[in-house]
Amino acid sequence: MVNKKILVDDALECLLMPSDPAHDSLYASMQYSLMAGGKRIRPCLFLVLLDILGVDSNLYINVACALECVHTYSLIHDDLPGMDNDDYRRGKLANHKKYGVGIATMAGDGLLTYAFELLACENNISFFKRIALIKILTAAAGPAGMVGGQAHDKGAEGKTLSLSELMFLDQCKTGKLICASLDMASEIAGLSKNDKEAIHTYGKHIGLLFQITDDLLDFNGVFQEMGKVPLQDISEHKCTYVTLLGKHQAQQRARKEAVAAVQSLGAFGEEFKPLRELPEMILCRRK
């Protein structure tokens, strides 16, 4: 994963080049958030799975970058005053705090649309597979996926959700884009329906695991490690796994999702070891 993160970071650094100086401020805002750090888990999952499946992942760096562009757009918009109203992201000022709400909103819009330009122009993939990848990513990012989850999250402020309602919210808000990263690699590799479903199930558990550990970090973490102000969810009166279940049961739930993720890969061989090791790494993360 570490090597893939370096590859993704290097590619992202050269990605955004304004065609006219008039766009410089917008591109600077886009680049600011895109290169602000982060784990790059979505593009790295995509690239690692391609390698596992015997596909040359170096041919698909732009697809990996498209995934990170969509994710970064969502973070910019999440931080806006009308959404989560966060002042910091990854230890730096949130985009709207540095560039203003208007430019930050457009920076998110720019990254989202540019992601699909990258996919549409990917000449290493056949026309029909490009359409399939675009369909996967639009479904994951759209109103029945990440955006729908964010809207559900906004509407749930100040309310107590059931566990199933919270899991559905997080499967949309966090899990769908993680699953898309794996689904897109599976599509490029031409896997069977059963293998695609098994890997998709793994992604669903990884998405929930990631969100539960995020809630635990918000409760337990410190700014110096997280790069953002802790206890933000509580101050915004959001229902989380910690507020719903308590810290101990939330930790148990995270462990359950980690075990289920590994079990989802039971039919695959030793080459899937990197994916089997990931859940434990997420459990132990500090930011």
Q: What is the pTM of this model?
A: 0.93
Angstrom distances, CA of residue 197 to CA of 67, 187, 213: 20, 11, 24
pLDDT at 230 over 70: no
Gap between the Cα atoms of 114 and 227, Å rounded: 26
Q: How far is CA 240 from CA 87, 170, 277, in A?
A: 20, 10, 26
Tens digits of residue pLDDT in 19-69: 899 999 999 999 999 999 889 999 999 999 999 999 999 999 999 999 999
Is 232 a residue whose pLDDT tops 80? Answer: no
- The larger pLDDT score, comparing residue 253 to residue 237, is at 253
| pLDDT tier, 1 (very low <50, low <70, confident <90, very high otherwise) | confident
Report the pLDDT value the prediction gives residue 221, as an integer from 0 to 100: 58
20-34, 82-96, 173-187, 262-276: least confident range: 82-96
User: Could you tell me the domains of the chain?
Assistant: 1-142 (1.10.600.10)
Residue-wise pLDDT tens digits, 124-159: 899 999 999 999 999 999 999 999 999 999 999 888
d(CA 68, CA 42): 7
- Kindly list the distances between the CA atom of residue 91 and the CA atoms of 224, 239, 256, in Å, as whole numbers in the listed order: 7, 24, 30
DSSP for 82-93? Answer: TTT--SEETTEE
C-alpha to C-alpha distance for 69 and 33, rounded to whole angstroms: 10
Nearest to 51 by CA among 202, 273, 263: 273
Three-state DSSP class for residue 160: coil
At 287 the pLDDT is 74
Calculate the average pLDDT of the chain.
Answer: 93
- pLDDT of residue 228 exceeding 70, the answer is no
* 223 pLDDT higher than 60: no
Task: State the average pLDDT over residues 178-203.
Answer: 98
What's the rounded Cα separation, in Å, for the pair 126 and 194?
23
DSSP string, 18-51: -SSGGGHHHHHHHHHHHTS----HHHHHHHHHHH
* Amino acid 227: pLDDT: 52
* pLDDT score for 229: 58
Length of the chain, please?
Answer: 287
- List pLDDT tens digits, range 251-283: 999 999 999 999 999 999 999 999 999 999 999
Q: What is the pLDDT of residue 235?
A: 63
Checking if the pLDDT of 97 tops 80, the result is yes
